[in-house]
Amino acid sequence: MKYMLIMRATDEGYANMGELDFDKMLETIGAFNEELIRAGVLLAAEGLSEASEGIVVDYSAEPPVVTDGPYGETKELFNGFYLLNVSSKEEAVEWAKRLPMTGPGFKTEIRRVPSIDEFPQDNEWIQKERAWREAHGQL
């Protein structure tokens, strides 16, 4: 089963990160990533650029409204993710509890990523996606 560990932080969390030595932070995260690789569960992991570089497309109006970051009303920002292939939700939780970026202002949301096999296989769009994934080595 695939699970996404979504790393979120508040302003307090970001402020705490600013106090960390960047090389030490990379070393700590790199060691954790290496552990995931050795365990054979890591599918992908990415951090994101600062929120001030982001863009929001808001669909509550027609046409959609496009604005640049930062996001003044957001209490927490999504700042990176891990995509893991583990045997259970409990295993995903155990990996999340070991993430190195922790402390006040940090949270990790865990969400299961459904497989294409869980969707109606007689649906034209699912069939097209399956064909694309097969052609690109993703199945």
In order of 117, 126, 130, 139, the CA distances from 123 in angstroms are 12, 5, 11, 18
Asked if pLDDT for residue 19 goes beyond 90, the answer is no
Place 36 in a pLDDT band, splitting at 50, 70 and 90. Answer: very high
List of domains in the chain: 2-135 (3.30.70.1060)
Give the side-chain half-sphere CA count within 13 A for 79.
21
Average pLDDT rounded to a whole number, residues 54-72: 83
- The overall average pLDDT reported for the chain is 88
| Cα distances (angstroms) measured from residue 128 to each of 11, 48, 113, 137 | 42, 30, 19, 14
Q: What amino acid occupies position 77?
A: L
DSSP 69: S
